[in-house]
Structure 1
Amino acid sequence: LQGVCRRQPGRLGPGHRAVVVDLVGRSDGGNIRDMALHGNWLYIGGAFNWINGTPHTGVARLNASTGDVDPTFVVNATVGRHGTSSYVWTLDISPDGTTLVIGGNFREVNGLPREQIALIDVSTNPATVLDWSTQKFAPPCVATTFTHYVQDVDFSDDGSYFVVGTNGGSGWPAAYCDALTRWETDARGSNLEATWVNFTGNDSITAVEAADGVVYVGGHFRWLNNPNRSDAKGPGGIDRLGIGAVNASTGMPVNWNPRRTAGANLPSGGVNWGPTVSVLWRGSDGLYFGQDSDGMGGEYHGRMGMFPLAGGRVVQPKNATTASTGYLYLGTANGELTKVAFDGTSLGAEQVMNQPNFTHAGAVWQATDRIFWVNNNVSGYPNGRLDASMFNGHTIGAPWEASGYNDWFNAKSLRGGFLLDGRLYYVRSGSSALHYRYFETDGGYLGATEFTVSTQGVSWSAVRGMAWVAGKIVYGATDGRLRSVPFDPTADVAVDGSEAVVLAEPTATLTWSTPTMFFADK
């Protein structure tokens, strides 16, 4: 290292880049694969069994100033998969320095079963293996090709969760192969499952970085949000060539697509596409990357580069209004809405509004300053097109296609829906259940997987039009009545129909039996 013998790790001084000779940290010849620094503790992971003559298998903690091994840190990652030698491939320390996550080729940590990943409490003395485990990294994926498939881990800025990127090939969705997943740091127990999963459809993820309210992801993938096909783009798949970012709350891609390619700017001898992004790191001035190719964002960047924060943008989340009073909007004719004052329990004055931009509308839902709606009169879209329009409480703006990636979805089948915390809850023809998909307003992307909400006592097949108002679902039905029912998406049973109440009967001017209904605070 700089001409001085160092058998990993070594330390370079700031500015002058000379080797700092007082750091002595030496393995037994095995690679040190990853490091994380917190305060004066340096955590190292790799394919070693000894550090500075002290037995440590896969992971150790050093004094960052001297390289001395911390004797109180006794954690060993052992028992390699498929009869191979064990090693730690990736690790990260939480921002508060209390929790270490390790990933790699191991099946036990300090004798406890841990398949490829483990959490360590490093605030105790000695450090202890936390009661946190999952079986989602136990199946083999493609065992002969991928000995292990946990490739990278990273804690969020506040340490409340961490993310995991994997390769592995086939084997999903039973296992989290070729996937990006989020995990809650304070979860405890065995057989845990991820908060969300984003499958690439059989392509590798090799680097992750949680920052700025998103998760940056790099690798050898061609799509995100692609669980419905293997090695091909399926329904819901969103083009992302080797680099992307997803909403940290839902795992849905946001509208950021630089692509790992130099395009026409690749010089002679350059490599336009390689299998690995080795590192993503959010520095104070931008997102740094290292890779095994030379293109990024249509430009030449030889193996490494940086996306500067200057000139970037903040992804602004959009959601249903939290107001408890406002207005229900009901489609009463083509190009016409009736605006009805609503305080959560009773209806007030009605106002008919002409809306020439809002014709042939189906289901509709509100999100901050706009509405998303099903446009049933667009040539080339026999199943309806999902559009967006700005909405200020008076005028619905000219529509635009919410995303070019939603044409696989039968939007015309929706009988009502509302957006809440990144999920589009809806009812549709052919089903008697309440469903949801993730929905990303930054790009208008629809989740590729349909989930069913646990409910009882509501005939969802008869529902027409829905809105979320202050913790309740307000909905119309084929009988023309308007009802409300408490809604708790975190409960085992999110909706109990015995708690539903009738808010309004149909009248000569208002019949609550159309999918075209939404709630707004203005």
Structure 2
Amino acid sequence: MNGVAVKYLTLLNVNTGAAVSGFVTPVIAGGRVNDLVLRGTRLYLGGYFAKVAARAHVGLASLNATTGALDPFMNVQLAGHHNTVAGGARGNIGTIAFDASQDGTRMVVAGNFATANGLPREQLVMIDLDGSSAAVDTTWATTLYTPVCFYWAFDTYMRGITFSPDGSYFVVNATGGGNPGTLCDATVRFETHATGSDIQPTWIDETGGDTVWATAITDTAIFVGGHNRWENNPLGVDTSRAGAVPRPGLEAFDPVSGRPLAWNPGRKPLGVAVFAMLATPQGLWIGSNTDWIGNYKYRRQKIAFFPYAGGQTVASTVTGSLPGTVYLGGSPTIQDSLQTVRFTGTSASPAQNVANGGIPWGSTHEAFMVGNRVFYGASDGLHVATFDGTTWGTPTLVDPYHDPVWENVATGVGSTTFGGQFPDFYSQAPNVTGMVYSAGRVYYTLAGDSQLHWAWFSPDSGIIDQRLSVASSSVDFSSADGLFAYNGTLYYGSTDGYLRAVPFANGAVTGLPTPVSGPLLDGVDWRNHSMFLYQGPG
């Protein structure tokens, strides 16, 4: 380096670019170093090596960050091939990527291994760094990386892994090919402090058969890069299927819901991947094997920088509170009317007619408000309009699935384009009888259906998960007519004109509903085509 022979690892002075002479590493034998993490005075190494300073250190080691000398703290030994299928691919055993929480108490390691210190940990292990020496966390394990994906091609399909800034969760990226029902070619969020022998992810976002590699996390977004064509594509196998959205090789996920945010610069050509990402206070750096950002729009050879200044502001996820104003669109007597009801949580004032913003409320299929935008159902799916309590913006169809910038652009893979597909929720929209947004999810009810359904949702992009789930509930919602929620309570209108309240926490409805307003209680008729709790000034 700079004309001086160095081996294994070196420390550079960032002001001069010169190697620091006092930093000398021991012999690292048996393979290469793939990843580095610095925490305090300790430098952690991960890779496909077998020994450090002639001592067994399969895949992991730690050094003194100042001198480079071996530090005995890390002595977790990785062993075994993930892929044991006869005739399958065989790669080096060890770490492909790892990260440590900012407080230095936890480490997550991804790579080609079946055990860690003799404990079964297929391709992913959590390590406790809070003791006198590193130790495998015996309370954190998952079996979800046990399946083999394309056994002839991959010994391990793990790629990138990163903790959130506060260390409360981490994200894993993978390759592996289109293997529905596995975590191959998917981005996954796990909770750091979950416990169990088969921990499940908080959410999954699949590409539909393409690799996702590097990742960086901020308080606002989870940035991911690969050679993916789409995201939100769980049914796709080298094709865009229901729910798929174009995300050419670069995306940002909503940390809560795992759905892509609106930011969509893309990279064409896709190349092999974005191999490295670094989020700084000023912006995002990426390193790839390609030279262009966008559809051959900005020439950035291998390294690109995305400054936050002048970029997109992520939409608010704030919802309304009580006491507050509930809007009722499309009353039983006036088809396209819009009314307001002041509601405290236990009592309501008489309904008042207000301007309807030009929206045909009698033809809508329920609504919810997040930030300054009202999302409402229609016969063709989900629509959105801004609203400040007085003025309505122009309503538009929520369609991030057919981004006009990328819709008809050839991906360079077969005959595919980057165009996506509407999710199955859009075909359900005409039958929706209530909707509410809460903690990254849209909860909704359907005509004649007793269940409370839900799907992950990003208010920023309007992308809704293709996977549709059912919440645990003690209530029959077959006659529901509008929903809103606040402070652990779900309020729902009914076709009998009453508003009822029921406990609602951690995505589950429990207990018995209580009527809180209605024709014989306070004279308010809650029947509607759309109901939402207002959020904002006024």
TM > 0.5 fold call: yes
Instruction: Output the CA distance in 1 between the equivalents of 2:400 and 2:315.
Output: 20
Say yes or no: does 1:141 pair with 2:149. Answer: yes
Tell me the equivalent position of 1:274: 271
Aligned mates of 1:285, 1:356 — CA distance in 2: 40
Report what 2:337 is aligned to: 336
* Residue in 1 that maps onto 2:409: none
How far did residue 341 of structure 1 move? 1.6
CA distance in 1 between partners of 2:159 and 2:422 (Å): 33
Match of 1:516 in 2: 530
Cα distance in structure 2, aligned partners of 1:111 and 1:29: 20
Q: Residue 412 of structure 1: SS of its match in structure 2?
A: helix
1-side partners of 2:270 and 2:375: how far apart?
37
Residue identity matched to 1:191: D
Superposition map of 1:67-216 within 5 A: 67-83=68-84, 84=90, 85-130=92-137, 131-173=139-181, 175-216=182-223
Match of 1:373 in 2: 376
Structure 1 residues 479 and 63: CA distance shift in structure 2, 3 A: same
CA distance in 2, matches of 1:353, 1:82: 64
8 Å Cα contact 2:328-2:529 kept in structure 1: no
Asked whether the equivalents of residues 178 and 236 of structure 2 are also in contact (C-alpha less than 8 Å), the reply is no
Letter in 2 for 1:227: P
CA deviation digits over 1:275-308, x for unaligned, max 9? 2211011134321111111111321111112112
RMSD of aligned C-alpha atoms?
2.0
Structure 2 letter corresponding to 1:279? A
Q: Is the 8 A contact 2:500 2:513 kept in 1?
A: no
Quote how far apart the aligned CAs of 1:310 are. Answer: 2.5
Which of the residues 274, 277, 282 maps onto 1:285? 282
Tell me if the contact between 1:336 and 1:356 (Cα under 8 Å) persists in the aligned partners.
Answer: no
After TM superposition, give the deviation of residue 423 of structure 1 in Å: 1.0
Look up the match of 2:491. Answer: 474
Larger mean CA deviation between 316-325 and 201-210 belongs to: 316-325
Note closer, same or farther for the CA distance 1:300–1:430 as it changes in structure 2 (3 Å cut).
farther
Q: C-alpha deviations, 1:44-71, integer Å up to 9, x for none?
A: 1111111122221100000111111112
On the 8 A contact 2:80/2:93 being kept in 1, the answer is yes
Identity %: 33
CA distance 1:363–1:499, shift in 2 (3 Å):
closer
- Show the 5 A alignment for 1:229-308: 229-261=236-268, 272-297=269-294, 298-308=297-307
How big is the shift at 1:170? 3.0
Say if 1:327 and 1:462 are closer, same or farther in 2 by CA, change over 3 A. closer
The number of aligned residues is 500
Q: Secondary structure at the residue paired with 2:71?
A: coil
| Structure 1 moving runs of 4+ over 4 Å | 506-510
CA displacement 1:403-440 (0-9 Å, x = unmatched): 34284412212111111122111011363210011121
Q: Say which SS state the counterpart of residue 365 (structure 2) adopts.
A: strand
Q: Point out which structure has higher relative CO (alpha carbons under 8 A, 6+ apart).
A: 2
Superposed CA deviations along residues 143-185 of structure 1, whole A, max 9, x for unmatched, are 2112111101111111111111111113332x21111111111
- Report the secondary structure of 1:136's partner residue: coil
Matched to 1:477, the amino acid is S
Q: Residues 435 and 506 (structure 1 numbering): CA distance in 2 closer, same or farther, change over 3 Å?
A: farther
Work out whether residues 341 and 348 of structure 1, in 8 Å CA contact, stay in contact via their aligned partners in 2. Answer: yes
Q: Report the Cα offset of residue 116 of structure 1.
A: 0.6
Compared CA separation, residues 187 and 399, structure 1 to 2 (3 A): same
Judge conservation of contact 1:8–1:32 (CA < 8 Å) in 2.
yes
Q: Which moved more, 1:329-338 or 1:4-13?
A: 329-338
In 2: Cα distance, 1:281 partner to 1:519 partner: 39
TM-score normalized by the length of structure 2: 0.88
Matched-pair contact (CA < 8 Å) for 1:166–1:205: yes
Decide whether the 8 Å contact of 1:167 with 1:179 is kept in 2.
yes
Q: Please report how far the alpha carbon of residue 397 of structure 1 lies from its aligned counterpart in structure 2 after TM superposition.
A: 3.3
Q: Partner residue of 1:388?
A: 384
After TM superposition, the structure 1 = structure 2 runs for residues 346-365 of structure 1, keeping only pairs within 5 Å, are 346-359=347-360, 360-365=363-368
Q: How many Å apart are 1:32 and its aligned residue?
A: 0.7
Q: Is the 8 A contact 1:480 1:506 kept in 2?
A: no
Q: Could you give the per-residue CA deviations for residues 68-108 of structure 1, whole angstroms, max 9, x where no partner exists?
A: 11123211111122244411100111111111111100011
- In 2, Cα distance between the equivalents of 1:237 and 1:128? 41
**Matched-pair contact (CA < 8 Å) for 1:207–1:278:** yes
Cα pair 2:123 2:158 within 8 Å, conserved = yes
Tell me the TM-score normalised to structure 1 length: 0.91
- How far does the alpha carbon of each residue in 1:318-369 deviate from its partner, in whole angstroms, 9 at most, with x for none? 2321334433434313331121121111211321123151202221111122
Aligned mates of 1:447, 1:30 — CA distance in 2? 41
- 1:198-238 CA distance string (max 9 Å, x none): 11111110111111421000001011111122111111111
Displacement of 1:29: 4.2
Q: Contact (CA 8 Å) 1:506, 1:512: kept in 2 or not?
A: no
Q: Counterparts of 2:446 and 2:143 in 1: how far apart (Å)? A: 34
Which residue of 430, 447, 450 maps to 1:432? 450
- Match of 1:81, SS state, is coil
Does the aligned pair in 1 maintain the 2:447–2:479 contact within 8 Å?
no
Structure 2 vs 1, CA of residues 502 and 13 (structure 1 numbering), >3 Å: closer, same or farther? Answer: closer
Q: Secondary structure at the match of 2:350?
A: strand
* Secondary structure in structure 1 of the residue aligned to 2:83: helix
Match of 1:504 in 2: 518
Measured in 2, the distance between the counterparts of 1:428 and 1:499 equals 18
Q: Is the 8 A contact 2:235 2:242 kept in 1?
A: yes
Check the 8 A contact 1:403/1:444 in 2, yes or no. yes
Q: Given the alignment, which residue of 445, 457, 460 partners 1:442?
A: 460
Structure 2, unmatched stretches of 5+, are 85-89, 402-420
Which whole-Å CA distance do the structure 1 matches of 2:63 and 2:486 have between them?
54
Q: Evaluate the alpha carbon distance shift between residue 511 and residue 327 of structure 1 in structure 2; reply closer, same or farther with a 3 A threshold.
A: closer
Asked if 1:309 is matched to 2:308, the reply is yes
Cα pair distance change 1:385/1:508, threshold 3 Å: farther
Contact conserved, 2:98 with 2:162, CA < 8 A, in 1? Answer: yes
Aligned-pair distance for 1:509?
8.2
1:460 and 1:499, CA in 2 relative to 1: closer, same or farther beyond 3 A? closer
Please tell me the residue identity of whatever aligns with 2:483. Answer: M
Mapped partners of 1:499, 1:374: distance in 2? 25
Taking a change above 3 Å as real, the CA distance of residues 324 and 144 of structure 1, as seen in their structure-2 partners, is farther
CA offset digits 1:359-381 (Å, max 9, x no partner): 02221111122211123xxxxxx
